[in-house]
Amino acid sequence: MTNTQTQHTFRVTGMDCASCAQTVETGVARLAGVESCQLNFTTETLRVSGTAVPQDIISRVQELGYDVAAPDEKRETAESLNFWQFMRQRQETTLALVGVLLILPGLLFNELLPMLGWEHPLLDLTSVAALVLAGWPIARSGWHSLRVNHELTINALMTIAAVGAVFIGAYTEAGLVMVLFALGEALEGYTADRARSSIRSLMRVSPQNATVMRPCIDCQEHLGQNGYTQGECPFCGIEPHRVPVEEVKLGETVVVKPGERVPVDGRILNGSSTVDQSTITGESAPIPRQPGDTVFASSINGAGVLHLEVTHLAKDSTISRLIRLVEEAQERRAPAQRFIDRFARVYTPAVVILAVLVAVLPPLLWQQPFIDAATSTNGWLYRALALLVVACPCALVISIPVSLVSALSNAAKNGVLIKGGAYLEALSQVRLVAFDKTGTLTQGKPAVTHFQSIHCQGNGCEPCTDLLGLTHAVERSSEHPLAQAVAQAAGAYQVQNRYPAATDVQARIGAGISGTVNGRQVIIGSHRAFNGLPHDAHCEAISAAEANGLTAMLVTTDAQYLGYLTVADQVREDAAAAVSHLHELGLQTAMLTGDNEATAQNIAGQTGIDRVFASLLPEEKVGKIEQLLGEYGRVAMLGDGINDAPALASATVGIAMGAAGTDQAMETADIALMHDDLSKLPFAIRLSRAAMATVRANVALSLGLKAAFLVTVLFGFGTMWLAVLADMGASLLVTLNGMRLTKFR
């Protein structure tokens, strides 16, 4: 019997920096039966695929010095704890606090005030005690990584440096190095947890309970009356019940009172209100909602009482998928982050080799002191040990992920779902933005402006309204915006039921739609799709309408031309401003549409689009994207996420408008605008550029400080404990700098 491959998910605790995640990831990957594993440091989520037993995975994580939280264990975030409370949570950080007290005498009299000449063996003893207490968890972790993963980690470097310092008699420095390093790691863990809390804040807006209209079951009040013994109570009827949101079922009716958060995604059955859905879409103002409209879980109801039909289970609600996708986004590492991860793996052993050369070569080649008897800090062994401390890559490793997660969580709070750091980095490099027209630059809610049969007898005559009714019979099966316009017009002229719904309805990609009505084949398409008309007067009228920016829909029955309809769509109010902001950012813009050239040019003139590509079939849109990629290198495509899927997939970054099809948009695009607000696009591009600028600044700061201290150490001017202090400071600086992106506007 063969084992089936499964995927297990764990929450790993006790990690202070990104290198901790790499250690766990490498160790788990070495287990028999593990096909793949990935540990997301930001969300503490470990995903393992293969046949390995979960207990073996947990044991390996614990063996490496970390732990796995129980599924129902409550998370205490740094947002609810101050630093000292955070330090007392774990044994290793508590030991570091004790180490701080023990190292103070040695720091005061041996390092800061050596001119007092106050020396005592007790000072060395307390320093060594501080080293042991603060350094034991660090040394243990370094040893386990070396034994299990066969790799030198940061913890191993610090242990080697501290033990070497004891060997040459620098007891206070040895203890101080370990205490400062332990404090630095704890501080990194604390700030990382604050970054995690920006994502968890999304979770806290999800209601835990819902008021559901259900029959009373096993009613204690009426048991025994008229033979009632159990089951649904015949006396109470349907009444509100307060239940956990996980127990709410599809199709049930949920009641949302004024001021309450909406517990599940649903469609309004009764009631009108305004709804604040900023947690999902980033909209700044509440929007009106009427019967038939949809509302999102976590939205805040206004003054009206709403009765909703449940359309998604709690686990599948928009906010739940948003949280899940944002967390998974951290696993799609940006190229810059992947480079740093690879660099750190090579960097650490290279530093050890360099330190050995620094310790050995000057004494061998130039008779320099290996250990200086007069002062331990001048020997080349000491400089080599200090080099190990200086080279600690903590700040470098943490510099990128903290910046990316801050930017991604900020984008999500403002209604922009970016699927990972890779797409954030790609968006920052885009040079042209291509737009679909219908539903993107326009409102996607066109209206029929004119319809005329070839047998027209005058305005609103029977043949013309019959043409409208026949067109609606075919279009009623379509969800296309043009079909919605026909449905509205058919309702206005009361011809929506003149013909039965068409059968054998087929979408003719890029050319219209066809169907069978009462045995007749009806085809509806564009002027271009029919390659000319036998009716000169209509041909001229259609050409004139298209020249004025209208969209024409031509109708034939059994290959005989019957008449045409014209439809107009309105440009979004924010389209021109959004395009203008993109131009201010130095970007070019283009429109890709299946509509005719005149309509496309009309919309481009209203919005300020630079280039227009009209009358395109879906496959031709892909060709144009490839052409633009050849010209500009990196191109973003903005569409509805469904009809434009091939073009979105071909672009460097595919961006979907979310409100018209949130489910599909969230799942298929690289980036989704959760509300149909084009101003979010310039915001997302500015945020991506700010994020990558922060990443570059953090990397430069980390490497710059390393280089400066490396020079001072090699020339004998730096001390080990100052090197640790500098590394701790650098880690704190890059973390705080990255976290500034959570406030970016």
pLDDT of residue 67: 84
CA distance 229 to 235: 12
CA distance 626 to 651: 8
CA distance 654 to 668: 9
Task: Specify if 663 maps to a domain.
Answer: no
Confidence of residue 607 (pLDDT cuts 50, 70, 90): very high
pLDDT of residue 660: 47
| Catalytic hit among 436, 569, 595, 676 | 436
CA distance 154 to 731: 14
- Classify 518 in phi/psi space as left (phi over 0), alpha (psi -120 to 50) or beta: left
pLDDT of residue 693: 93
Q: What is the mean pLDDT of residues 165-192?
A: 77
> Could you tell me the sign of the dihedral formed by the alpha carbons of 124, 130, 136, 138, in that order?
negative
Q: Are residues 182 and 237 in the same domain?
A: no
Q: Are residues 560 and 479 in the same domain?
A: yes
Q: What is the mean pLDDT of residues 451-478?
A: 88
- Residue 263: which residues within 8 A CB-CB, separation 6 or more? 207, 209, 210, 245, 248, 254, 256, 297, 314
Q: Is the pLDDT of residue 106 over 70?
A: yes
Q: How far is CA 484 from its chain centroid?
A: 33
Q: How far is CA 708 from its chain centroid?
A: 36
pLDDT of residue 431: 95
Nearest CA-CA partner of 358 in 334, 386, 339: 386
Q: Are residues 170 and 216 in the same domain?
A: no
Q: Are residues 282 and 366 in the same domain?
A: no
CA distance 376 to 109: 17
Cα(first)–Cα(last) distance of the chain, in Å? 57
CA distance 281 to 658: 9
Q: Where are the alpha helices (DSSP H) in 150-170?
A: 154-167
Least confident of 69-73, 78-82, 157-161, 407-411: 78-82
Whether 72 is catalytic is: no
| Full domain range(s) for residue 111 | 85-200+332-403+693-743
The CATH number linked to 480 is: 3.40.1110.10
Q: Are residues 242 and 279 in the same domain?
A: yes
Among 265, 282, 316, identify where a domain stops. 316
Query: Which of 340-344, 526-530, 537-541 is the most confident on average?
Result: 537-541
Query: Which of 74-78, 110-114, 548-552 is the most confident on average?
Result: 548-552
Q: Are residues 241 and 354 in the same domain?
A: no
Task: Specify if 438 maps to a domain.
Answer: no
Among 289, 316, 343, identify where a domain stops. 316
The CATH number linked to 286 is: 2.70.150.10
Q: Are residues 166 and 232 in the same domain?
A: no
Q: Are residues 48 and 131 in the same domain?
A: no
Amino acid at 469: G
Q: Are residues 290 and 359 in the same domain?
A: no
Q: How far is CA 370 from CA 152, 355, 364, in A?
A: 24, 13, 9
Q: Is the pLDDT of residue 547 over 80?
A: no
Q: How far is CA 43 from CA 198, 323, 631, in A?
A: 11, 11, 39
Judged by DSSP in three states, 580 sits in: helix
Query: Which of 35-39, 69-73, 431-435, 523-527 is the most confident on average?
Result: 431-435
Average pLDDT, the chain: 80
Q: Are residues 384 and 284 in the same domain?
A: no
The Cα angle at residue 683 between residues 682 and 686, in degrees rounded to 5: 85
The two three-digit tokens of residue 490, written as one number: 């058919």
CA distance 424 to 653: 9
Q: How many domains does the chain have?
A: 4
Among 568, 586, 610, identify where a domain stops. 568
pTM > 0.95: yes or no: no
Least confident of 61-65, 186-190, 408-412, 561-565: 186-190
Q: How far is CA 486 from CA 440, 451, 469, 624, in A?
A: 20, 10, 9, 30
Judged by DSSP in three states, 158 sits in: helix
Q: How far is CA 546 from CA 441, 460, 597, in A?
A: 18, 22, 8
| Torsion angle, alpha carbons of 211, 216, 217, 219, to 10 | 130
Beta bridge partners of 217: 232
pLDDT of residue 662: 46
Q: How far is CA 10 from CA 41, 73, 77, 325, 328, in A?
A: 12, 12, 18, 17, 14
Q: Is the pLDDT of residue 664 over 50?
A: yes
The CATH number linked to 51 is: 3.30.70.100
Q: Are residues 452 and 559 in the same domain?
A: yes
pLDDT of residue 661: 46
The Cα angle at residue 25 between residues 23 and 386, in degrees rounded to 5: 15
pLDDT of residue 379: 75
CA distance 160 to 140: 12
Judged by DSSP in three states, 377 sits in: helix
CB 197 within 8 A of CB 189: no
The HSE-up count of residue 424 (CA atoms within 13 Å, CB side) is 39
Q: Is the pLDDT of residue 685 over 90?
A: yes
Task: Specify if 264 maps to a domain.
Answer: yes
Q: Is the pLDDT of residue 77 over 50?
A: no
Continuous segment of H or E residues that includes residue 13 = strand 6-13
pLDDT of residue 161: 80
Task: Specify if 416 maps to a domain.
Answer: no
Nearest CA-CA partner of 680 in 280, 186, 177: 280
Task: Tell the burial category of 576 from Cβ atoms under 10 Å away from its Cβ (0-12, 13-18, 19+).
Answer: middle
pLDDT of residue 509: 60
CA distance 148 to 30: 8
Catalogue the E-assigned strands of 328-465: 416-418, 432-436, 447-453
Q: What is the mean pLDDT of residues 372-401?
A: 71
Beta bridge partners of 309: 253, 267
Helices 318-329, 394-413: crossing angle, 10 deg rounding: 160
Confidence of residue 672 (pLDDT cuts 50, 70, 90): confident
Task: Specify if 737 maps to a domain.
Answer: yes
CA distance 443 to 573: 9
* Residue recorded with tokens 């066969």: 150
CA distance 621 to 619: 5
Which has more confidence, 246 or 589? 589
Which has more confidence, 142 or 612? 612
Task: Specify if 612 maps to a domain.
Answer: no
Q: Are residues 195 and 213 in the same domain?
A: no
Task: Specify if 502 maps to a domain.
Answer: yes
The Cα angle at residue 259 between residues 255 and 264, in degrees rounded to 5: 45
Judged by DSSP in three states, 450 sits in: strand
Q: Is the pLDDT of residue 222 over 80?
A: no
Task: Specify if 325 maps to a domain.
Answer: no
CB 468 within 8 A of CB 493: yes
CA distance 130 to 107: 11
The two three-digit tokens of residue 579, written as one number: 């395009």
